[in-house]
């Protein structure tokens, strides 16, 4: 299943989810209507109410349309507003979820050995999948084995693991668990999880209102016969509170059933994706076996375990109702789905675990492909130094690589990560140095303008200038193929900057880009990616404004023209490249126009991408296919073209792995 199919299926699941939860709300309305009829029939028709409006308003018939309308509207308002409130509480992204369960943001510089091993694995997978580096949290109070991914987009995603996961899993097992969570990130499951949480809370809120009624009576006493009226009021309030609790829990029961059923189906796919990614079935089965073997298993102690259980890698709470509320399939089923020959024996833990027995590679401080000799032995290509060198490129297969997790990309990510000097990797993780790293990365591309750009940094960001000068020699000698992967690793540290520091950073960045009155392709890519992801991290949104190809035909013409010009200066070659890409968009025959360089510059591309970013998924998919054929009309691609193409894909929220360096065997 490719990225676009997974995203479409997630959207379809969301549609069905809304239908199913609507049925749960209908059940809640019916329960409320029955309760209302019951209370109404308790009002006497004689005595002090005889001849009053009440006596005539409540007939004996069980069918009361007016009452049904009132109950339905009240239920919809309560459920809708409370679901919206819960949804808005997640507007700051995955960090909100991680912190709500006691997660602590890992400091990749000062972290423990085990935390650095985790950071290393997440970095490799981030590069391999082409997604911005997610923030990493650890739940220090949880000794069980569990993890989760949360967020609304790939730009605000986080990955959280328990302390037990760090301490009890080997590197291969931890890699498989993280691969499982990256599958949820790429398949659109995170946003679905947030919707599930918000909808279930909306229904549960009715019960919380009832509980509030009952709590309001705490300590209330009826002291004498003179308080008979107040005693009646107390009874009425108590009855209403109990009724609301029962009504709410009826809907909540069905809502949790739906939530659990949706969650269980996604776990098998994520397990399979982890195996596909790591090419190591023993990793995921080993992690699941240890969950079954340790006494604590995957149980989470926080009281939010039930409401957020569908986020986790494994069952986070004890399921009631015979497993009907279980958010994950039984461990035995998950293991046998990967290893049908499994004998049914879980991991048997030792009384004392010596984690120091792990070797250097297992600790995660080096990548298997880090050295030149290791690359040569593995048959991998040497580092690519010349950005203009042309690399073999197959446009027909590129869209299948969007959001794809494979062993080949993982090995490539290890190779690229190994090519990045440790000094730069540490700077990418450090909020105190990350701004200086980006400045030096941007400055290193234009050697002749380095003095002028250095003056800009010294003037606009004096606190970062010393680090900038120290990092600049390293970025100037950096392999061009590693520039974009390194850039993707900076996003967690940049997200930690204070608002004033972030404004200063973006201002300096903009001034550096425009220092020479012209914008290079890499300058455009760097600024576009960082501003896009930082904006999404602050305000995660996924709106769609354009569903018609015709509505964005001019913008598509700009994208294809820019890419055609980026690959060559020969007029005939440029024309062929544009025509090759346009041929992939038969729906727009005679609507796409080749544009000259003045009409299809980087500023025009920026404006076009702003509109295309809010187009529908089919439009974005066909655009990326056409763009790939434009670039690859000669079956090759340069580093510069690859950076531009990946920037376009990431702007459209379609993560793309590094291009052009995949070993033939893995491709």
Tell me which residues are annotated as active site.
Answer: 181
Distance between the two ends of the chain, CA-based, in angstroms?
16
Cα-Cα-Cα-Cα torsion 476, 479, 484, 490, nearest 10 degrees, comes to -60
Decide: 581 and 633 in contact? Cβ < 8 Å: yes
User: What is the 3 state secondary structure string of 343-357?
Assistant: CCCCCCCCCCCCHHH
Tokens of 133: 């580096």
Q: Are 540 and 155 in contact (CB under 8 A)?
A: yes
Per the structure block, which two tokens stand in for 324? 């009907």
Q: How many CB atoms lie within 10 A of CB 426?
A: 13
Strand, helix or coil at 253? helix
- Reported residue count of the chain is 667
Q: Give the count of alpha carbons within 13 A of 548, CB side only.
A: 4
- Which residues, at least 6 apart from 589, have a Cβ–Cβ distance to it below 8 Å? none
Nearest to 423 by CA among 123, 114, 109: 109
Q: Quick check: 298 and 161 in contact, CB under 8 A?
A: no
Give 12: exposed, middle or buried? Use CB within 10 Å, 0-12, 13-18, 19+: exposed
SS3 for 262? helix
CA-based nearest residue to 318, from 292, 300, 340, 343: 300
Q: Name the DSSP class of 546.
A: B
Looking at residue 588, the DSSP 8-state letter turns out to be G
CB atoms closer than 10 angstroms to residue 667: 12
Beta bridge partner(s), residue 159:
136, 149
């Amino acid at each position: 299943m490719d990225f676009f199919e997974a995203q479409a299926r997630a959207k379809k699941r969301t549609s069905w989810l809304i239908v199913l939860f609507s049925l749960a709300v209908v059940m809640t309305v019916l329960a409320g209507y029955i309760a209302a009829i019951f209370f109404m029939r308790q009002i006497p028709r004689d005595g002090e109410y005889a001849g009053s409006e009440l006596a005539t308003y409540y007939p004996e018939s069980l069918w009361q349309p007016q009452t049904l309308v009132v109950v339905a509207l009240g239920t919809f308002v309560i459920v809708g507003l409370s679901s919206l409130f819960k949804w808005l509480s997640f507007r700051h992204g995955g960090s909100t979820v991680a912190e709500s369960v006691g997660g602590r943001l890992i400091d990749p510089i000062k972290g423990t050995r085990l935390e650095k091993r985790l950071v290393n694995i997440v970095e490799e997978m981030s590069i391999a999948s082409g997604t911005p580096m997610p923030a990493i949290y650890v739940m220090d109070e949880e000794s069980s084995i569990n993890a989760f991914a949360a967020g609304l987009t790939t730009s605000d995603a986080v990955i959280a693991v328990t302390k037990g996961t760090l301490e009890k899993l080997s590197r291969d097992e931890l890699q498989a668990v993280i691969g499982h969570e990256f599958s949820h990130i790429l398949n659109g499951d995170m946003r679905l999880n947030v919707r599930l949480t918000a909808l279930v809370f909306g229904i549960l809120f009715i019960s919380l209102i009832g509980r509030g009624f009952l709590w309001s009576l705490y300590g209330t006493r009826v002291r004498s016969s003179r308080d008979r009226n107040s005693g009646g009021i107390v009874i009425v309030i108590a009855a209403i509170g109990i009724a609301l609790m029962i009504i709410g829990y009826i809907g909540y029961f069905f809502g949790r059933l739906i939530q659990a059923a949706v969650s269980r189906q996604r776990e098998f796919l994520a397990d399979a994706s982890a195996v596909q990614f790591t090419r190591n079935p023993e990793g995921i089965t080993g992690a699941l076996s240890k969950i079954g073997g340790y006494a604590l298993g995957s149980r989470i102690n926080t009281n939010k375990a039930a409401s957020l259980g569908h986020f986790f890698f494994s069952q986070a709470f004890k399921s009631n109702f015979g497993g009907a509320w279980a958010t994950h399939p039984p461990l035995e089923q998950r293991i046998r789905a990967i290893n049908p020959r499994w004998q049914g024996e879980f991991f048997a833990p030792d009384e004392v675990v010596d984690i120091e027995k792990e070797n250097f590679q297992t600790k995660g401080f080096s990548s298997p492909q880090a050295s030149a000799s290791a690359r040569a032995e593995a048959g991998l290509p040497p580092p690519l130094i010349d950005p203009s060198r042309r690399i073999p490129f197959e446009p027909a297969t590129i869209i299948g690589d969007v959001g794809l997790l494979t062993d080949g990309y993982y090995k490539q990510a290890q190779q690229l990560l190994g090519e990045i000097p440790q000094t730069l990797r540490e700077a990418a993780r450090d909020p105190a140095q990350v701004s200086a790293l980006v400045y030096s990365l941007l400055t290193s591309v234009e050697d002749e303008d380095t003095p002028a750009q250095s003056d800009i940094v010294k003037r606009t960001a004096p606190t970062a200038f010393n680090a900038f000068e120290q990092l600049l020699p390293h970025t100037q000698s950096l392999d061009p193929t590693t520039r974009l992967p390194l850039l993707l690793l900076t996003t967690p540290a940049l997200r930690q900057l204070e608002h004033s520091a972030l404004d200063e950073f973006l201002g300096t960045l903009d001034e550096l880009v425009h220092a020479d009155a012209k914008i290079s392709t890499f300058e455009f890519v760097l600024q576009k990616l960082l501003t896009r992801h930082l904006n999404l991290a602050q305000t995660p949104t996924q709106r769609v404004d354009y569903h018609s190809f015709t509505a964005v035909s001019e913008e598509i013409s700009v994208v294809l023209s820019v890419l055609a010009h980026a690959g060559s200066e020969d007029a005939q070659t440029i024309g062929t490249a544009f025509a090759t890409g346009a041929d992939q968009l038969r729906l727009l025959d005679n609507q796409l126009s080749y544009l000259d360089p003045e009409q299809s510059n980087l500023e025009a591309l920026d404006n076009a991408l702003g509109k295309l970013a809010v187009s529908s998924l089919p439009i974005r998919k066909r655009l990326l296919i056409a763009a790939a054929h434009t670039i690859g009309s000669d079956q090759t691609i340069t580093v510069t073209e690859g950076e531009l193409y990946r920037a376009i894909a990431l702007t459209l929220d379609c993560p793309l792995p590094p291009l052009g360096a995949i070993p033939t065997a893995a491709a």
